[in-house]
Structure 1
Amino acid sequence: MTERSVYASQPKQRPITVPKLHHATFMTLDVDAMVRWYELVCGLQPVYYAEHAAWLTNDEANHRIALLRLPGLQAPVDKPHTAGLHHTAFEYATFDQWLDNYARLRDHGILPAIALHHGMTMSLYYMDPDGNGVEIQVDAWEDWTVSKEWMWASQEFAEDQLGPQFDPEKLLAARAAGDDFQTIQRDTYAGKYPTDTPRTDPALPDVWPGRLAAEPGLRDGVPGVPDVEGGVITFENYEN
């Protein structure tokens, strides 16, 4: 007897029309610092910007990142080793755009905490002011269909989901020497451009000890409690 599909005996597994990922929301102690960073790094600009919240976008959506400075919020403790969101990711359409952005951010003093060739993407991981990971990537195969198939079928990814660390400066040099993207990405995955300072801890670094030392007032967190009037929560009347 032919085995029947799971759909023949079980309720429908998912809706026919599936939702798309729209935005991520972060709790923050400093809305201004986060707005400045995301504008510089990812081109996100606020659609609505208030003292205790901001909604930012870099495309046609009304927002892609939301920032909330809520009453009672405290600084995290050992953020890299607690459960929660590891990072959000942004993708460039071309290798040149991606690598040019690395150089632009480097010139602003913003460097990735780690650079990884995952096999399906080449990825630079940055830390925002609150210690959230932000991945800036480019598809290694220049085609989502191809990279998805590689990720699903390749023995390489089955054995190593992180991939080799690399030095973006060496990629800039290879491009300047005339190598094209596919040559560079294959050489990078083969380990030709290793970093001189590899990370041994897969967790992203913790920015908070240094930030609290520089800004001791953040240890107090956000004072106050939200006002609730007629079932509507507002944040207008708590101490700044």
Structure 2
Amino acid sequence: MSDSYQIPAKTRIGHIHLKVSDLEQSLDFYCRLLGFNLITTYGDQAAFISAGGYHHHIGLNTWQSLGAPPAPKRSTGLFHTAILYPARKDLAEILQRLINEGYPLSGASDHGVSEALYLDDPDQNGVELYWDRPEDEWPKNEDGSLNMFTKALDLQDLLAELK
């Protein structure tokens, strides 16, 4: 690539918009289970939800996907949506909620820079729930580059945050 443009460092991903097969089922997952707030709906075909009153972090719609099956796992498209929690205790609280609800995890990893829980929404879209360790705790290689890894997350240690 010859262009030296760099996106501004403070740029953030503001929201995602998902095609879903059943709006009510998706709202049950994202609002009732994960705790997002419903901000507004567009009839019975779309909804916008957020954390903390933002106009929306997640858009859900059935405009082209009402009743459709999940996308095949071995195809291009969204791998997962990552939802960043402010603190480790917050991640522990959602883990306990998932356990209480009997909602299955598809994985749980320690990446050195973060700890993450993985699950699928009702349309089999991957969802990562995670928190970032403070930047001064991120593992580094001798040359100063990040040394990210994937190790099993100790769920009992995470749940100990609730005591």
TM-score range, shorter chain: 0.7 to 0.9
Identity %: 22
RMSD: 2.8
Q: Please identify the structure whose Cα radius of gyration is greater.
A: 1
More strand by share: 2
Which amino acid in the other structure matches residue 151 of structure 2? P
* 8 Å CA contact retained: 1:123, 1:136: yes
Deviation sequence 1:187-240 (CA, Å, 0-9, x none): xxxxxxxxxxxxxxxxxxxxxxxxxxxxxxxxxxxxxxxxxxxxxxxxxxxxxx
Deviation at 1:94, TM superposition (A): 2.2
Matched, 1:63 2:49: no
Provide closer, same or farther for how the CA distance between residues 112 and 145 of structure 1 changes in structure 2, counting only shifts above 3 A.
same
Counterpart residue number, 2:70: 76
Which amino acid in the other structure matches residue 62 of structure 1? H
Counterpart residue number, 1:13: 5
- Scaled by the length of structure 1, what TM-score is found? 0.56
Deviation at 1:138, TM superposition (A): 1.9
- Scaled by the length of structure 2, what TM-score is found? 0.80
Instruction: Please list, as runs of the form range in 1=range in 2, the aligned pairs for 1:104-123 lying within 5 A after superposition.
Output: 104-123=97-116
Matched, 1:43 2:13: no
Aligned counterparts of 1:16 and 1:76: Cα–Cα separation in 2: 35
* 8 Å CA contact retained: 1:28, 1:67: yes
Which stretch of the first structure deviates more once superposed, 11-20 or 115-124? 11-20
* 8 Å CA contact retained: 2:81, 2:127: yes
SS of the equivalent of 2:77 reads coil
* Unpaired stretches in structure 1, ≥5 consecutive residues: 1-9, 179-240
Provide closer, same or farther for how the CA distance between residues 34 and 167 of structure 1 changes in structure 2, counting only shifts above 3 A.
same
Aligned length: 157
Counterpart residue number, 2:140: 150
